[in-house]
Chain A
C-alpha cells in the first residue's frame, strides 16, 4: 500500500487525471472499502456470536422466570387445594354442627390469604336419614366477612353446574374464573371438592361439596414478581385453556387458546396450544401471525402448573432481546465508520506528504516533456526512494542532454554531408549535356538525355561531343552500384571516354582506350557498361560499339523499331578486350536512335514485374522529338512502377536524325563503257561522271563516295566479264534530285547479283582473312539504298547516295 502512495501522489500531482482516475482516489477508495468490509465482517461475526449468546442467555433467563413463576402459581394453587382438602375432610368429620362448620370455614379463609371465600354444602339426609343438611358460605370482604346460607344466595345449588359436576364426577376440580355480584365484581376462581363421609374412600358416596374461592388478583400478584418489563408476556391458562391472565385486556378473560389459534389469527400459537393440551413443558419459537406485534419473533416458554390443570407461559420478543445488541452494534459500526473516515483522512494526508517530493519531480518532468531540460530538479540529496528516483532522473536527464547534443552534432554533420551531396549531384548533373541540336547543312541531329538517379548521385551517365564539325560522338553508360562510389567512378569514366573519343578513330577504338585507362588502379573493381557511338551528321551513318551495354533501339520514321545487334564485349574497368567491334548502320531522316540504361528495363513495379524490353519498344513513338521521346519514356516507366521504390538510376538518351528537304534542280548525267575497253577504263568512266557532275556544287565528300562506288561497280562488272572471256558494256545514268544522287548501272554481263554475296568477315585474323569482297561491302556502307534487278538481259544495280549539305566551314 505504501509503495502505491508515491505513485498515486504523482498521478494526482500530474493534474491531468480526473479525480476518478487518480490512483490516490483509488487508493483511498480501496483502503476505505477494505476497512469497511473488514469492519462489517468483524461486526457481523461478533453480532452473530453475541446474538447467539444473548438469545441463549435470554432463553435461559426466560425459562427460569417462567419456571419460577409457574412454581409460585403452583404453590398458591396447591396451598388452596390443600386448604380445600382440609376443609372437606374436616367438614365431614364435624358433621352437622353449624357453628363448628362455620368456624371451620372461617379457619380455612383465615389460614390462607389466597382464599377469599369458602363454602360447604352437605346435602340433607346424607349423614343421617333425618338430618336437614347443611350449607354455608363465607366470603372475605375487606377486613370483614360476609356469610350466608347458600340457599340465601338466591338459587338452588343442586341445579348449579358446578355442584352437579363436583358431585357427579366425585373429584376436585378448578372452576373457570367468574365474576358476579357475590364476588363484588372481582374475578374469582373456585376449587371444588366433593364431600364424602368420613371413613369412605375415594369411591365413597358424595354427600355434598366444599369450595374455596381464590381471587384472580392473588394469582396476578404472583406474576407481579416478574421483572417489570413490557417485553415479557406472561399468560395464565385456565384448565379450560382460557387466557385468564394476559397483559392485553382485549384478550385476558376473553379468549381461549383454541379460539385464538383457529379464529383469532394466531396460528403461530398452535404448537403452544398443542403442548398445553398435552400438559407438557414447552419451548416454542414462533412468529406472530397477526394482531399486535405481528411479525415479531417470540420465544414462548411454558408448561402445566403442576397437576392443578392450570398452565402458564411466558413469551419474550426476540427483537427486544436483540434490541440492545442491535443498538450496541449500530453504535459500534458507526464508531468503526468514523474510524474508517479518520483512517481515510490520514491516508489522504499521509499520501499527500509522501507525494509532495514526487510532485516536485513530476513538475520537473513536465518541464522536461516540454523540452526544458535545464529546469531545476529537487530532492537529489534525499536518502530515501525519492532521492534514488530523483538521482536516476538526473542521470537520465544528463544522458538525454548529452545525446541531444550528439544528435544535433550528427544532424549538423549529416546536413553538411547532404549539402555536399546535393552539390555533388548538381555537379554531376552539370556534367551531363543539356538537350541540343546539331546542324550540318540540311542535316539536323536532335539530341536529348534524361538522368534520374536512384539516390542523390548516381552512376549512370551520358555525354556527347561534336568532332570535326561533321560527326557527333555520344556515350551512355551505367556504372555498377549506386551512390557516391558509382558517381566518382562515373566521373572518371566520363572523362576517360571523352579523352579517348577525342583521339579519333572509331567508337571501338575509343572504348579500348578507355578500357585500358579504367583498368588501371581499379582496386575496387568498379566497372561500367558503355555504349559508344558516332553519327556522321551529313549522312546519318552510324557506328556503335558496346562494352556490355544494353542494345539500343532504332526507331524508324515509319514506326518500325528494333534492337540493334551491336556486338558487345565485357564492361569497362574489368578487362581490356582485344577489340570492341563496331556495328554500322545508317539513320535515315526521321529515325531515332534510342539508348538507355537498365534502370528502364529493370524498373520494377509493386509486384516485382520488370518494365522489360517489350514495354520499352511499345512505348517509343516515332512522332516525338528527342526530348519528348525521353520524357515520354521516363513518365511511362514511372506510371508502370506506380510509386514502387526506384531500384536503379534511370537514364535515356534519344538521338533523332532529320534532314531538310532541299530543292535541287534535277539533272542527269550519263556515262558508259563500250568494248573494247581501254586499259584505264575505270578512269575514263570516272572522268565522264566527273564532267557531268562538275559545276553543280556537289560536296567533295560526295564526289569521293561517287568515285568509290563507280570504281567498285565498274571493277566488278569488268572482272566478271573477263571471267567469261568477253568485255561487257556498262552504262551509268546518274540522277541528282533534291538531296539524293541515284546511280543506275546497267551491264550486259552474265546475271550477277553483287548483293547476294555474303558480307566479308571484317574481324577475322589478317592471316586468315580473304582479300576480296570488300567492294560490295563498301557500297553497302556508303549508300542509302542499294537494289539489284535483272531485266531484259541486263544487270541493273541502283545505288542511292545522300548529298550532304555544303560544308559551310570548309
Chain B
C-alpha cells in the first residue's frame, strides 16, 4: 500500500489535492515533490482531501506543516477535508492543522476559503 496523489486543476486560487493510502516516512517525499510546483504557483489555498488517507505518521504531518508554512508566508492556508478518525486523532495530538481548518466536505472548505478571501480583499482581516 502506498500513497496516491491526485492534484486537480486549480480554480479560484484554490488548489485541491486528494490523498489516498499511507502517508509515512516512505511516501512523504513523493508528496513533497508533487506539492512543490503547486506551492510554487500563485495559489492562495491548498485543500487537502484526506477521505482516502488511511495512515499518517509524523513524517506525513511534517509534509503538511511544510505546505502550511509555505502558504502562510503569503497569507494562504492549508485546509483539510474529511480526515478519517485515526488521521483526525493524529492531527489532534500534534496540532497539525487548526481545528477550524478541518472540514467534513470540500464544499464546506470552499465556502470557508471564499469567505476568507473576501475578508482579505476587504482588508479587514482581523483574525
Contacts and interface: CB of A to CB of B under 8 A. Distances in A.
A378 interface: no
A579 B98 contact: yes
Contact of A682 (B24, B85, B127): B24
Interface stretch (B11-19, B41-49, B56-64): B56-64
B95 A701 contact: no
Nearest to B67: A766
Interface string A761-776: 0110111010110110
Contact of A707 (B26, B55, B85): B55
B94 A771 contact: no
A777 B25 contact: no
B66 A771 contact: yes
Contact of A777 (B55, B57, B62, B94): B94
Interface string B78-115: 00000001101010111100111010100000000000
Given A584-B93, A767-B73, A771-B66, A715 B25 contact: yes
A497 to B, nearest CB: 15
B99 A778 contact: no
A508 B99 contact: yes
Given A509-B99, A772-B62, A766 B24 contact: no
B69 A767 contact: yes
A682 B26 contact: yes
A772 B66 CA distance: 11
B57 to A, nearest CB: 5
Interface string A518-552: 00000000000000000000000001000000000
Nearest to A582: B92
A680 interface: yes
B72 interface: yes
A712 B57 contact: yes
Contact of A704 (B55, B73, B99): B55
Contacts of A711: 24-25, 57-59
Contacts of A682: 24-26
Interface bin, chain B: 20 to 34
Q: Which of A584, A772, A778 has the most CB of B within 10 A?
A: A778
Given A506-B99, A712-B57, A771 B62 contact: yes
Contacts of B61: 774
A781 B65 CA distance: 19
B62 A543 contact: no
A382 B25 CA distance: 113
Contacts of B100: 509, 512
B33 to A, nearest CB: 16
A766 B94 contact: no
Contacts of A509: 99-100
B73 A769 contact: no
Nearest to A711: B57
Contacts of B94: 760, 762, 774, 777-778
Nearest to A714: B25
A701 B86 contact: yes
A417 to B, nearest CB: 43
A543 B104 CA distance: 21
A712 B57 CA distance: 7
Contacts of A765: 72
A384 interface: no
A775 B58 contact: yes
A766 B92 contact: no
B57 A708 contact: yes
Q: B26, B92, B104: which has the most chain A beta carbons within 10 Å? A: B92
Nearest to B96: A774
B72 A774 contact: no
A505 B102 contact: yes
Contact of A774 (B58, B66, B68): B58
Nearest to A765: B72
Interface string A626-642: 00000000000000000
A712 B90 CA distance: 13
B24 A777 contact: no
A683 B26 contact: yes
A687 to B, nearest CB: 11
Contacts of A156: none
B67 to A, nearest CB: 10
A468 interface: yes
Nearest to B92: A506
Contacts of B57: 707-708, 711-712, 715, 775, 778
Nearest to A576: B127
Interface string A703-723: 010011001101100000000
A680 B2 CA distance: 11
A578 B66 CA distance: 22
Contacts of B95: 762-763
A513 to B, nearest CB: 8
Interface string A663-703: 00000000000000001101100000000000000000100
A766 B99 contact: no
A766 B72 contact: yes
Most interface-central of B25, B62, B86, B100 (chain A CB within 10 A): B25
B36 to A, nearest CB: 15
Nearest to A715: B25
Interface string B1-32: 00000000000000000000000111000000
Contacts of A766: 65, 68-69, 72
Contacts of A579: 98-99
Interface of B: 24-26, 55, 57-59, 61-62, 65-66, 68-69, 72-73, 85-86, 88, 90, 92-95, 98-100, 102, 104, 127
17 contacts: A505-B102, A508-B99, A582-B92, A679-B26, A682-B24, A682-B26, A711-B24, A712-B57, A715-B57, A715-B59, A765-B72, A766-B72, A771-B65, A774-B61, A777-B93, A777-B94, A778-B90
3 smallest beta-carbon distances between A and B, as pairs? A509-B99, A762-B95, A774-B58
Interface of A: 468, 504-506, 508-509, 512, 543, 578-579, 582, 584, 679-680, 682-683, 701, 704, 707-708, 711-712, 714-715, 760, 762-763, 765-767, 769, 771-772, 774-775, 777-778, 781-782
Given A711-B58, A767-B73, 15 more contacts: A579-B98, A682-B25, A683-B26, A701-B86, A704-B55, A704-B86, A708-B90, A715-B59, A760-B94, A767-B69, A771-B66, A777-B93, A778-B90, A778-B94, A781-B93
